[in-house]
Amino acid sequence: MRRGWSQLDYVLVPLGLAVLLGYHLWLLLRICRRPETTVIGINAINRRIWVRHIMEEPSGKHAVLAVQTMRNSIMASTVLASVAITLSSLVAALMASGAAHGLFSRSGGASSSLVVGAAGEAALTLKFFAVLVCFLVAFLLNVQSIRYYSHTGLLVNVPLAAHRRPASAVGYVTETLNRGFYFWSLGVRAYYFSCPVFLWLFGPIPMCASCVAMVASLYFLDVYTEWDKDDDGAGDGDGHARERKTGASGRLMPVEGV
C-alpha cells in the first residue's frame, strides 16, 4: 500500500508542474501577441507613457516624482529579496540539522500520517532542495530588478534635449524600467511556485491540487480584456487592442506598444 502511494509522486508531481509550465507558456505567448489583454502588457505600455511624460518635461519638476517612484520600487524588491534569502538560510539550516527529515519521515511515528507519497531520505532531500531553489531564484531575480531600478532612477532624469536621438533615449529608458519590473514579476512568480513545492512535503496530492488552484487564480490576476475595447465597449475590428492617445484634433490615435 505504501509503495502504491509512493508511485503517486511520479504521476501527480509532473502533472502539476506541467499545468504551471503550460499556463506560463500560454501567458508568455499572449503577452507577445496581445499584450493589451494582459496586466503585464498593459503595465509595460503605461510605463512607456510615464517615462516619456517624465523626460519630456523641460523644467524637470517631475524629477522628484521619478526618484520617489524608483525608491518605492527598490524598497519593494529589497523586502522580497531579504525575505527570500532569509527563508533560504532557514531551509538550508533545517536540511543540515536533519530536524525536518525526522518530522516528515515515515519513521517519525504519528507525524508520518501527514505525509502521502514518497517520504524517504532521498525524497525529502529533493523536496527541501526544490524549496531552497525557489527562494534562491526569487532572491536573484529581485536583486536584478533592484539593479535595473537603480539605472532607471538616473536615466529617467536626463532631459530629452540632452540626447541626440530623443526617441532612442525614451526607448532605452523604457526598456531598462520594464526589465526591472519583469525581473520583479518573475521573482514574485518564484514565491508563488514555492507554495506548491512546499506542499509537496505533505505529498503529491496537495501539491498537484495547489498547482491547479494557483493557475485558476493567476488567470484572473494576469488577464484583463477591457483595455483593448473602445469607450463604447466595442473592441477593435481585427481583434487586437491598440494603445491610444488623444491628438490635437481630439481623435484617438494609435501610439507605440510594448
**pLDDT on residue 132:** 93
Tell whether pTM > 0.85: no
**pLDDT on residue 204:** 87
**pLDDT on residue 234:** 47
Q: Answer for the pair 19, 124: CB distance below 8 angstroms, yes or no.
A: no
**pLDDT on residue 220:** 93
**pLDDT on residue 238:** 44
**pLDDT on residue 10:** 81
Q: Answer for the pair 43, 237: CB distance below 8 angstroms, yes or no.
A: no
The one-letter amino acid code at 165 reads R
Integer Cα distance of 115 and 79 in angstroms: 32
**pLDDT on residue 6:** 62
Residues of the chain with pLDDT under 70: 1-6, 60, 98-120, 228, 230-258
Integer Cα distance of 37 and 41 in angstroms: 7
Q: Answer for the pair 127, 200: CB distance below 8 angstroms, yes or no.
A: yes
**pLDDT on residue 3:** 54
Integer Cα distance of 101 and 125 in angstroms: 8
**pLDDT on residue 221:** 92
- Of 148, 147, 100, give the one whose Cα is nearest residue 124: 100
**pLDDT on residue 256:** 47
